[in-house]
Amino acid sequence: MIRGCVVMLIAAALAVLGGCGNKEGDEFVGKWQSTKGRESVEISRNDDGFVIANTSGGSVRPGVASAVYRDGVLEVESTGRIESIPYDKQHDTIILPTMTGSATFSRVK
């Protein structure tokens, strides 16, 4: 009886502790501002993926994209191809694909 209770307590503790910690891709979640302009985006979780919303001008505008976390980057489909969004931990920045190449965004604190 006591042994069964101990096993149950250990299993419960492992279940609780297993839910703690960062999930893959947490570094991308938040509000980001272009380092060269007024553009801004907000990245949030959506089920197993991410949503990237254009928040330029203070309100969400059309231009919401879905992304998935794979191999340390977010991947988003753009104009029929997959674009990668890398995160630079040292500078706390991301690089978003644009129509003219790419743009660096820093985290809004």
Interval 14-63: pLDDT, tens: 444 444 557 899 999 999 999 998 899 999 999 889 999 998 876 555 67
Q: What is the pLDDT of residues 79-109, one digit of tens each?
A: 788 999 999 999 999 999 887 889 999 999 8
CATH number of 24-107: 2.40.128.210
Judging by DSSP bridges, how do beta strands 64-70 and 49-54 pair with one another?
antiparallel
Determine if the pTM surpasses 0.85.
no
Say if residue 6's pLDDT is above 90: no
The residues, ordered by sequence, that sit 6+ positions from 63 with a Cβ below 8 Å of its Cβ are 53, 54
The per-residue pLDDT for 61 is 54
H/E run at residue 37 = none
H/E run at residue 2 = helix 2-18
